């Protein structure tokens, strides 16, 4: 929808591909849908959910057996994002290396985009 012809909207690191493929196989879902919604101290949060099929307007990204769907409203916020999966002594989880983010809270759970205030733009975010 907002993509660049010939280029995937998001990319996944080998660690993310491995984890997404594992989750797809274990849970029996078609993939993960990623999006954004209002929330957190910086204004917006990433969302992830299991899905059995892509919605009509989802941007579908398949890479080496892993599949993510990008919710339509989130596409403009996620273009150019690299999805990674990191494991440390204290936590493990998906990380989003997003070039569109202008600020993030200290805990890394919420983000802000320059000039992209959904309240001012008339966009309705899921969960808002």
Q: Which two tokens stand for residue 48?
A: 């992830």
User: What pLDDT digit, counting tens, does each position of 32-59 carry?
Assistant: 999 888 776 667 788 899 999 999 999 9
**CA 68/CA 24 separation, integer angstroms:** 10
User: What pLDDT digit, counting tens, does each position of 56-100 carry?
Assistant: 999 999 999 899 999 888 888 888 889 999 998 988 999 888 887
In a domain, 116, yes or no: no
CATH number at residue 55: 2.60.300.12
Q: With cut-offs at 50, 70 and 90, classify the pLDDT of residue 108.
A: low
In a domain, 121, yes or no: no
Domain assignment of residue 81, given as a range: 10-110
User: What pLDDT digit, counting tens, does each position of 109-122 carry?
Assistant: 666 676 655 454 44
**Are β-strands 81-87 and 10-12 bridged in parallel, bridged antiparallel, or unpaired?**
parallel
How many domains does the structure of the chain reveal? 1
In a domain, 125, yes or no: no
In a domain, 16, yes or no: yes
In a domain, 4, yes or no: no
In a domain, 62, yes or no: yes
In a domain, 89, yes or no: yes
Q: With cut-offs at 50, 70 and 90, classify the pLDDT of residue 1.
A: very low
In a domain, 118, yes or no: no
Q: How far is CA 98 from the centre of its chain?
A: 9
Q: Which helix (H) or strand (E) holds 75?
A: helix 75-78
Residue 115 DSSP symbol: T
């Amino acid at each position: 929808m907002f993509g660049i012809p010939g280029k995937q909207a998001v990319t996944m690191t080998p660690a993310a591909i491995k984890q997404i493929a594992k989750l797809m196989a274990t849970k029996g879902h078609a993939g993960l849908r990623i999006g954004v919604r209002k929330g957190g101290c910086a204004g917006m949060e990433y969302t992830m959910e299991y899905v059995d099929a892509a919605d009509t307007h989802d941007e579908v990204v398949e890479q080496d057996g892993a599949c993510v769907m990008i919710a339509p409203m989130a596409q403009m916020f996620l273009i150019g994002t690299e999805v990674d999966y990191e494991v440390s002594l204290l936590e493990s989880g998906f990380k989003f290396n997003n070039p569109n983010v202008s600020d993030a809270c200290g805990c890394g759970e919420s983000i802000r985009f320059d000039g992209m205030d959904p309240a001012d733009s008339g966009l309705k975010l899921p969960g808002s």
